[in-house]
């Protein structure tokens, strides 16, 4: 019973989500349920009237009844067809909505949570299971069928109760007494209770068996999902597969999982067929008993032949509605179970609460940032990669962050941009802990070009303007500043040219050209603090130093930060901090640090041969 409650809690939550997305979907489905029932019962009543009129020789009335029957059937059928037309693309829409919900959740997550491998796994698993077992539209259809079945049962039972209440004509002896209201009720009650008890037993037995089979299968699903989504067409593992000759092994592993999957579906079919057989048997016994009751009423003169057809129709409806209720519920249970992962994913909480203070908009760019004794370890890792970092960023200064690879420079920037939160200590903006600020507003003050800057298979203008609206003049200015004006002018559709061939027939660009567009994106944002985190790693040291200096001139008057493992790139900066093993070990100007003869000077000398 508790399981049933949790299944429907999930189901109703999903229905509410569908309703929030499109408030017309559920009411229209309810209308569809009502129309289909109206069609059935109008048919039953009008046919009964028609038969009675024909038997009584009232041909005018019979003709009238036939016209009404035809009209009602046509009208209700037409209304249903119109509704169905509206549902035509619902399956695709629901499928898309489901995919979008998953991704909206990803956007709402901290960057830190996004990096967790289980997030990607949960998304893939949710998508695959919903593709296999049915998604939101299937869930909605099952609920509609369940509602249709319940209403059908109520309507048919009330008709049969009415049948039981009819009184036979007098003087028929035993038949007359058996057809009286009380014995009829007794007979119907025995049939109903017997059928419900048998159906419920069969339902619980088969549902438990089905769930047992279903739950035993999820491991196979996960393996298949991994193989199909992460292995075959993943270019990163493609290299390894080819070099180490893994093709045969992977195909065999997939075939093995497919065999297990097939065995599972066959088992599922067997249980479903057995459940159908049991239900058919129970409802056949019920139908025979119920027909006998209706026939008894006719023989006893309690109802007409026309009414007999109506009651027999109602009894048929009752049997099939009970059957549908049980089987639809079983299917619904399965869908809700597969949706557990999806809902658990939506419920995943961000590890850190977001603040709400707005960030003061300052035309003078006076944003003062400070690290106060900050230490940091990546989630799931033991080692502190930043240790007791104490640092105040000079407003409108040019700061260089240098150090060997792995010293913690990028981590320092990621913390500054609030992609992660310090494990210890705090970072402040104008004296207030950055956690207290609204995240989006806080990030607006940074324009960053990361080492692994990414462009999208979108038009050029979307890549440059990003989330800050299209203003062509400003886009061209940013492109010119980043030395990419000529590149875009030579493209066939200018700013509207698509990049890459993955979506539209876009243009392919080189790594250096992509880097220029990424620089233009940072310039377009016009943020008061700009950061270059080694986007130039592919360039030689001299070329990198030139790009850095040129960028330094472009953002003159703003606070800027330059990261590099090459000492020469940052010589033009006012202040240099040197990272080593997650700590700031030296700080000062180039001259000061060089004269001090410490870590910086040693690295400078070691790299000097490349600058000549
Ligand atoms: P740098 O920018 O100076 O080359 P990073 O800040 O990228 O150094 O890395 C500092 C340390 O943190 C390295 O040991 C690196 O392996 C580790 N690290 C970087 N990113 C992650 C991550 N996402 N999860 C766990 N460890 C990481």
**Residues 356-393: pLDDT tens digits?**
888 877 777 678 899 999 999 998 888 999 999 999 98
How far apart CA 497 and CA 503 sit, in angstroms, is: 12
Q: What is the percentage of the chain residues whose pLDDT exceeds 70?
A: 96
- Please give the distance, rounded to the nearest whole angstrom, from the Cα atom of residue 450 to the centre of ligand 1: 14
**Residue 395 in tokens:** 């407003």
- Secondary structure of residue 87 in the 3-state scheme: helix
**Among 404, 408, 452, which residue has the most ligand 1 atoms within 8 Å of its CB, making it the best to mutate?**
408
Does residue 410's CB lie within 6 angstroms of at least one atom of ligand 1? yes
> Residues for the chain: how many in total?
612
Indicate whether 124 pLDDT > 60: yes
Query: How much is the mean pLDDT over the chain?
Result: 86
Tell which residue, 73, 330, 299, 118, has the closest CA to residue 203.
330
Q: Which residue's CA is the nearest one to ligand 1's atom 14?
A: 406
pLDDT of residue 149: 94
Q: What is the mean pLDDT of residues 22-44?
A: 91
Q: Which residue's CA is the nearest one to ligand 1's atom 19?
A: 411
Q: Which residue's CA is the nearest one to ligand 1's atom 22?
A: 378
Strand partners, 559: 529
Best mean pLDDT range from 120-129, 486-495, 595-604: 486-495
Q: Which residue's CA is the nearest one to ligand 1's atom 1?
A: 406
Q: Residues 6 or more apart from 253 whose CB is under 8 A from it?
A: 223, 227
Q: What is the mean pLDDT of residues 257-264?
A: 85
Q: Which residue's CA is the nearest one to ligand 1's atom 16?
A: 406
**Among 113, 384, 385, which residue has the most ligand 1 atoms within 8 Å of its CB, making it the best to mutate?**
385
Does residue 580's CB lie within 6 angstroms of at least one atom of ligand 1? no
| Per-residue pLDDT reduced to its tens digit, 565-595 | 888 778 888 899 999 999 999 999 999 998 9
How far apart CA 86 and CA 88 sit, in angstroms, is: 5
Report the CATH superfamily, name and number, of domain 14-346: ABC transporter type 1, transmembrane domain (1.20.1560.10)
- Secondary structure of residue 136 in the 3-state scheme: helix
Indicate whether 46 pLDDT > 70: yes
Contact 458, 512 (CB under 8 A): no
The H-or-E segment that residue 101 falls in is helix 90-108
Residue keyed to tokens 């940032």: 369
The H-or-E segment that residue 323 falls in is helix 305-346
Specify the fold of 369-610: Rossmann fold (3.40.50)
Q: What is the mean pLDDT of residues 161-165?
A: 86
How far apart CA 280 and CA 286 sit, in angstroms, is: 10
pLDDT of residue 581: 94
- Please give the distance, rounded to the nearest whole angstrom, from the Cα atom of residue 115 to the centre of ligand 1: 13
Indicate whether 525 pLDDT > 60: yes
- Please give the distance, rounded to the nearest whole angstrom, from the Cα atom of residue 411 to the centre of ligand 1: 6
Q: How confident is the model at residue 274 (pLDDT cuts 50, 70, 90)?
A: confident
Does residue 411's CB lie within 6 angstroms of at least one atom of ligand 1? yes
Q: Which residue's CA is the nearest one to ligand 1's atom 21?
A: 378
Neighbours of 460 (CB within 10 A): 26
Q: What is the mean pLDDT of residues 294-305?
A: 86
pLDDT of residue 538: 67
Domain boundaries, the chain: 14-346, 369-610
pLDDT of residue 78: 92
- Please give the distance, rounded to the nearest whole angstrom, from the Cα atom of residue 403 to the centre of ligand 1: 13
Does residue 408's CB lie within 6 angstroms of at least one atom of ligand 1? yes
| Per-residue pLDDT reduced to its tens digit, 466-475 | 989 899 999 9
Does residue 502's CB lie within 6 angstroms of at least one atom of ligand 1? no
Give the pairing of strands 398-403 and 559-564.
parallel
- Please give the distance, rounded to the nearest whole angstrom, from the Cα atom of residue 405 to the centre of ligand 1: 9
| Per-residue pLDDT reduced to its tens digit, 313-355 | 888 888 888 878 888 888 888 888 888 888 888 888 877 777 7
Does residue 405's CB lie within 6 angstroms of at least one atom of ligand 1? yes
- Please give the distance, rounded to the nearest whole angstrom, from the Cα atom of residue 111 to the centre of ligand 1: 15
Beta sheet of 446-449, edge-to-edge order: 446-449, 529-533, 559-564, 398-403, 575-580, 583-588
Give the pairing of strands 575-580 and 432-433.
unpaired
**Among 111, 378, 452, which residue has the most ligand 1 atoms within 8 Å of its CB, making it the best to mutate?**
378
How far apart CA 207 and CA 194 sit, in angstroms, is: 20
Does residue 403's CB lie within 6 angstroms of at least one atom of ligand 1? yes
- Residue 413 alpha carbon, nearest atom of ligand 1: 6
Q: Residues 6 or more apart from 141 whose CB is under 8 A from it?
A: none
Neighbours of 488 (CB within 10 A): 24
By mean pLDDT, which of 69-83, 191-205, 375-389 is the weakest? 191-205
- Please give the distance, rounded to the nearest whole angstrom, from the Cα atom of residue 587 to the centre of ligand 1: 21
Give the pairing of strands 369-376 and 398-403.
unpaired
Q: Which residue's CA is the nearest one to ligand 1's atom 27?
A: 378
- Please give the distance, rounded to the nearest whole angstrom, from the Cα atom of residue 538 to the centre of ligand 1: 19
Q: Rounded to 5, what percent of the chain is helix, strand, coil?
A: 65, 10, 25
Q: For the CA atoms of the chain, what is the radius of gyration?
A: 36
Tell which residue, 562, 442, 457, has the closest CA to residue 517.
457
The H-or-E segment that residue 437 falls in is none
pLDDT of residue 333: 83
Give the pairing of strands 575-580 and 583-588.
antiparallel
- Secondary structure of residue 401 in the 3-state scheme: strand
Strand partners, 227: none
Indicate whether 522 pLDDT > 70: yes
Tell which residue, 314, 324, 312, has the closest CA to residue 280.
324
φ, ψ dihedrals at 387, nearest 5°? -130, 120
Q: Which DSSP string do the residues of 331-399 spell out, in sequence order?
A: HHHHHHHHHHHHHHHHTPPPSS----BPPPP-TT----EEEEEEEE--TT--S-SEEEEEEEPPTT-EE
Say what the pTM is.
0.72
How far apart CA 559 and CA 399 sit, in angstroms, is: 8
Give the pairing of strands 529-533 and 446-449.
parallel
Does residue 409's CB lie within 6 angstroms of at least one atom of ligand 1? yes
Q: What is the CA angle 230-107-356, rounded to 5?
A: 155
**Among 374, 404, 411, 564, which residue has the most ligand 1 atoms within 8 Å of its CB, making it the best to mutate?**
411
Does residue 583's CB lie within 6 angstroms of at least one atom of ligand 1? no
- Please give the distance, rounded to the nearest whole angstrom, from the Cα atom of residue 406 to the centre of ligand 1: 6
pLDDT of residue 434: 93
φ, ψ dihedrals at 558, nearest 5°? -115, 165
Does residue 383's CB lie within 6 angstroms of at least one atom of ligand 1? no
Q: Exposure pattern of 33-42 as b/e (b: 16+ CB <10 Å)?
A: bebbbebbbb
How far apart CA 212 and CA 217 sit, in angstroms, is: 9
């Amino acid at each position: 019973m508790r399981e049933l409650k949790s299944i429907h809690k999930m189901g109703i939550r999903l229905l509410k989500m569908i309703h929030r997305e499109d408030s017309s979907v559920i009411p229209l489905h309810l209308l569809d349920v009502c129309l289909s029932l109206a069609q059935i019962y109008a048919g039953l009543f009008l046919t009964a009237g028609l038969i009675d009129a024909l038997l009584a020789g009232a041909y005018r009335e019979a003709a009238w009844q036939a016209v009404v029957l035809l009209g009602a059937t046509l009208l209700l059928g037409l209304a249903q067809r119109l509704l169905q037309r509206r549902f035509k693309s619902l399956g695709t829409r629901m499928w898309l909505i489901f995919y979008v919900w998953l991704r909206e959740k990803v956007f709402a997550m901290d960057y830190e949570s996004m990096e967790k491998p289980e997030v990607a796994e949960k998304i893939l698993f949710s998508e695959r299971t919903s593709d296999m077992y049915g998604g939101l539209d299937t869930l909605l259809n099952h609920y509609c069928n369940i509602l249709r079945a319940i209403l059908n049962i109520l309507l048919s039972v009330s008709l049969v109760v009415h049948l039981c209440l009819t009184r036979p004509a007098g003087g028929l002896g035993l038949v007359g007494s058996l057809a009286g209201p009380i014995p009829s009720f007794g007979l119907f009650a025995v049939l109903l209770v017997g059928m419900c008890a048998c159906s419920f037993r069969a339902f619980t037995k088969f549902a438990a068996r089905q769930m047992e089979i279903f739950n035993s299968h999820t491991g196979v699903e996960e393996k298949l999902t991994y193989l199909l989504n992460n292995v075959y067409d993943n270019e990163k593992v493609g290299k390894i597969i080819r070099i180490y000759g893994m093709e045969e092994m992977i195909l065999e592993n997939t075939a093995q999982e497919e065999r297990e999957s097939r065995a599972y579906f066959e088992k599922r079919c067997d249980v479903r067929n057995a459940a159908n057989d049991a239900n058919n048997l129970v409802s056949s016994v019920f139908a025979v008993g119920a027909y006998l009751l209706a026939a008894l009423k006719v023989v006893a003169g309690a109802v007409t032949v026309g009414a007999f057809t109506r009651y027999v129709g109602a009894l048929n409806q009752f049997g099939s509605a009970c059957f549908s209720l049980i089987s639809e519920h079983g299917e619904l249970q399965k869908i809700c179970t597969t949706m557990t992962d999806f809902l658990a994913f939506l419920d995943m909480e961000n590890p850190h609460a977001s603040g709400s203070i707005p960030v003061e908009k300052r035309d003078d760019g006076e944003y003062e940032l400070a690290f106060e004794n900050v230490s940091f370890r990546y989630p799931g890792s033991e080692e502190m990669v930043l240790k007791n970092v104490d640092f105040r960023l000079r407003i409108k200064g040019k700061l260089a962050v240098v150090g060997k690879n792995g010293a913690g420079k990028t981590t320092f920037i990621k913390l500054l941009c609030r992609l992660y939160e310090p494990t210890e200590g705090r970072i402040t903006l104008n004296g207030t802990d950055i956690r207290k600020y609204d995240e989006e507003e806080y990030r607006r003050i940074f324009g960053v070009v990361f080492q692994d800057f990414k462009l999208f298979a979108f038009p050029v203008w979307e890549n440059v303007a990003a989330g800050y609206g299209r203003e062509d003049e400003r886009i061209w200015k940013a492109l010119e500043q980043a030395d990419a004006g000529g590149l875009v002018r030579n493209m066939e559709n200018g700013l509207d040219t698509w990049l890459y061939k993955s979506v539209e027939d876009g243009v392919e660009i080189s790594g250096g050209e992509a880097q220029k567009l990424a620089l233009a994106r940072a310039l377009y944002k016009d943020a008061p603090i700009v950061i270059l985190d080694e986007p130039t790693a592919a360039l030689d040291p001299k070329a990198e130093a030139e790009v850095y200096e040129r960028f330094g001139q472009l953002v003159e008057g703003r606070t800027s930060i330059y990261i590099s493992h090459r000492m020469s790139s940052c010589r033009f900066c006012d202040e240099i901090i040197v990272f080593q093993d997650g700590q700031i070990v030296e700080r000062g100007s180039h001259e000061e640090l060089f004269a001090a003869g410490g870590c910086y000077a040693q690295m400078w000398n070691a790299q000097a041969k490349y600058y000549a």
